[in-house]
Structure 1
Amino acid sequence: MSDKSKINTIAAALQDVPEVQALFLSGSHGNGLADAYSDLDFVLVCENGATDAIAAAWREAVSQTGTIVLWWDRTNIPVLINAITEDWMRIDLIILKPEQLASHYQNTLKVVFDPERLYDQLTPQAPSRVRDPDKFLRQVEDFIRILGLLPLAEGRKEYINGVLGVYHLRQLLVDLLVEETNAPHRGGILHLNRLLTDAQQELLISLPPPLPIREGMIAAHLAYAGAFLPRARRQAAELGVVWPDRFEEATWKRLKQTLSLERPYDPQVAV
């Protein structure tokens, strides 16, 4: 069954359900960036929100597109239901009351059915993203904090934990690179290629793998520090964020005393 057929099947199953007022596509299908690998993200508007009756009606609708093999019913977010069918189609749903729909925008949704024309009441365009300086500073501090744990991992010979530390540093670097491109449609976690430039991807590929041995663990931490910190300093200057100099200085002092490591970049040149 094609995506279009699944959408039509779900719509037909819900249109006559009491309390259901509208159904929209969101995510990549909502903003026009869907590909052959995209999941189906829906927003369902109901008079009383995410009731048990609506959840049951949704499960029945999804089951008509294929056998359900995974069902998470309002577990982490009270209005979110996640489903996967036997052909591995991922189908996610947000259930909202009519007044809650106002937090969405026309350019992020596609109408499936909307007899009360709720879509027409929405703001046409989502505002441009504004970065949170406090969140950015917390990410920088977290990077330095993880880097500063390297002597502990080395001293205890916790090389597996050292690998986990590298993964954290890598994710912080990826987040930083995505912010550099300022892509308008971030999408889900599996949309990284379109968010990074070729040069950024080459940088990530060039970094050493996190090996669970002393030399590999240290080399990877140092390489990620050399990639992340100069970029982060430049972004801090652009955002007007005061760089945590004392924290970074104390961290490099500790790394030099314990592991004879030098800072892999010149902070005067970085900005």
Structure 2
Amino acid sequence: MASYAPAKGQGHVYILSKQAAAQVGLVDLATLSVAGSRPRTVAQSAWLLGPLHNPIPQDCYLAQITVPVEILQVYAASRGLTDTNTLFPSPAEDPMLKALLGLPWEEIKTASSLPGLPAFKRTLELPEYHPSFVKIAPAQIAFYRGTRILDTQDSIDGDSQGGIFVEIPDMVLYGSIQQARPLRFPSIEKLVEENGTVAFEAPVLIKHASLGHLPLYQKGVGVMPRGPGLFEVCELTVEHPGLELTGAGFIRGWTYRKQSNGVWAREARSSDCTCDNAIVHDQHISALHIAEDFLDEPEAFD
């Protein structure tokens, strides 16, 4: 739990130039709003600066104001900022925070761990300003112990052909390519040709906010052969209520055809996913680019 209490002494306010900060990277987080709710991005009129590989450039700073804390407290109160909740809304008001607190928990593995009595911590450690203790956790909270699909399942729903699993680092799912690249995947094509469907499985569970009410998680991506030079790229999803991985399946994806120059091109088919969300399927392609790099040079991911 985190909290704020009145203090005495000197307070500091830094004024930054939006124009200079924009050269580094500046995002207005207050635009990330959800109708009928009050996420902290809106409550704080928040901005995000970065990505930063070094300290904030000096030309971003316009001023530093140093005054007694009492003056800042009076100033905040005059604008209705009287308690923690005004800047840090509870999960009941903030669906973004609720989604982040709903991420899978990961097992704590130490030399002092007790056999048969696993302990877990949040995957993302967030300071909390409101009690969130529950005596019995609901099924949609996953306590993940590194279980692989083949540890509990003989096959994957949605794959009638069978194939192989390829274990990949979590960077394949969490990472993103820095610039657009031609869709060339010779190493992946070779795996598909030799084995049929290829399921790239990561050692993590990824929770999509839209599925927060269900115990469903992304665990990888899949590539399925759909004919000569034709490939379906889809999401590998698992069902993981509580402690157990109880199911696995492929979510319908988008289809791509290999052109004469070796580059894949989107070829819409009636059997494709109908979500019409290019961002989701572009992320699958981004994961394939990183998976291709991993197959070519696995030691670079150590």
Q: TM range, normalised to the smaller chain?
A: under 0.3
Normalising by the residue count of structure 1, what TM-score does the alignment of the two structures yield? 0.25
Structure having the larger proportion of residues in strand = 2
Q: Which structure has more helix as a fraction of its residues?
A: 1
